[in-house]
Amino acid sequence: MTSKNIFYVNNDIISISHPDWDFSGMATIRDDYKDELMGVTWSDKRGYLSNQKLGGYLHRYIMKKWYGEDRVREMKAEGFVVDHMDNDGYNCCINNLCFLHKDENTAKGLTFDKENRNKTHIALS
């Protein structure tokens, strides 16, 4: 199957777009999964890129490639989710993804994320 997406690779970042989208997604790319990631069509599913053949959301796919499926499964079992630190569901670069307890993720979504939705630069310490 040929992907319906358009891919552009610049160093270790891949941009994923589609003729029908007004946005691009991005992720950290490595040689060990580059062909697999580019061999499928990614679709927009409520603000996140998704492909069922590769198990669902791009952010979870990237975390599995970096940390391993067992570790991602363990973290999920312990109540953690994969969080986009910049709140951009299309930014699936490994340096933007972290494991965050689902309670903290919910609290973040109802407080910090909501209050800072329109801000483009935020510093945390």
More confident site: 119 or 4: 4
**Whether residue 116 has pLDDT greater than 80:** no
Could you read off the pLDDT of 55-108 as tens digits, one per residue? 999 999 999 999 999 999 999 999 999 999 988 999 999 999 999 999 888 887
CB 71 within 8 A of CB 89: no
For residue 94, what pLDDT is reported? Answer: 98
Report the C-alpha gap between 48 and 85 in whole angstroms: 14
Q: Enter the DSSP assignment of 12.
A: T
CB 29 within 8 A of CB 14: yes
Could you read off the pLDDT of 8-31 as tens digits, one per residue? 999 999 999 999 999 999 999 999
Model-level pTM? 0.86
